[in-house]
Amino acid sequence: MEKTRKLIFMSILVAQSLILYIVEMYMPNPFTAIAPGAKLGLSNIITLISLIFIGFKDTFVVLVIRIILASMFFGGLSAFLYSIAGGILSLVVMGIILKLNKINYGLIGISIIGSIFHNIGQLIMASIIIQNIGIFIYLPVLLLSSIPTGLFVGLVCGFLMKNKNIQNSLNVKGVEFKLYNLKKLDVILIIILIIVNLGIIFNIKNKDDMSEKWVEIVVQGKTYKKVLIQDKSYEEKIKITTKFGYNYVYIHDGGVEIIDADCHDKICIKTGFIDKEGEIIACLPHKMYVKILGENEEVDNVSY
């Protein structure tokens, strides 16, 4: 592809991925009740198509420009860090798989793996921001959400890849190896993800009740408050205000939830009610989280 045509095409890809990002912002999120923070990933369609047709380096440029623009107009610094971590890790892994074309994954498998590492990258960044790796408790649910998102992105990419008008506009004859069809390795990957992660989720949800249970509120890496909540009749609403914004924490029925916040994504609210040891609600823009602690964990500076 000649240089001028490539630059024009890259500009179009940036615009298209940004449009898809905006569309997804305003469309209902099918994963809200199951995996707060998970998205369908419409803009990932452009990332995967770009990676296949114009290569890793140019796709990296397209991805970074899209994330910068999206964060400038619709997110902010926390959204940028969150997106760049997930986007780059996902792109690197998909690029490696495509480079090693002896690995018998189809587009769907590659897309699912990309979605998996996108979630892992975001959780790594989230754990750095809130200074707690407990956020990884949501990894099994997010990995399960990678199956439908990866299927969707992979199927759409496969359909577009086979479009002769797109191939002609790029002056390519098509992809060197057949990626569109569902491969055996894709099916194995999906089955393993379902079995392993459902097992982990089932184990978490069926933990025995603790003889002693606490809610810990941590703001910017420091404990703000710890509350004993073993008595399910205990109820308290706490407003936490920082330079980043506010969160209303509601402790009730032996658990806790965030019922209001002025962060842009509201993921902390969408996470809902938690009451199991190790469960966590994080608000990345405000650098705070709420966690359920068990009897064996350290409990200093306790509030009743």
Split into its structural domains, the chain has a count of 2
Per-residue pLDDT reduced to its tens digit, 86-134: 999 999 999 998 887 655 778 888 899 999 999 999 999 989 988 888 8
Q: Which domain holds residue 56?
A: 3-205
Q: How confident is the model at residue 301 (pLDDT cuts 50, 70, 90)?
A: very low
**Pair 73, 178 in one domain:** yes
The phi, psi pair for 201, rounded to 5°, reads -60, -45
Last residue of a domain, one of 180, 205, 230: 205
Give the pLDDT score at 302: 37
Last residue of a domain, one of 152, 180, 205: 205
**Pair 171, 260 in one domain:** no
Is residue 168 over pLDDT 80?
no
Which is higher by pLDDT, 58 or 99? 58
Last residue of a domain, one of 205, 233, 267: 205
| Span 240-244, average pLDDT | 90
Distance (Å, whole) CA 173 – CA 112: 26
Give the predicted TM-score (pTM) of the model. 0.82
Distance (Å, whole) CA 211 – CA 222: 26
Rounded to the nearest 10°, the torsion over CA 174, 179, 180, 186 is -170
Q: What is the CATH number of the domain that holds 76?
A: 1.10.1760
Q: What is the CATH number of the domain that holds 294?
A: 2.60.320.10
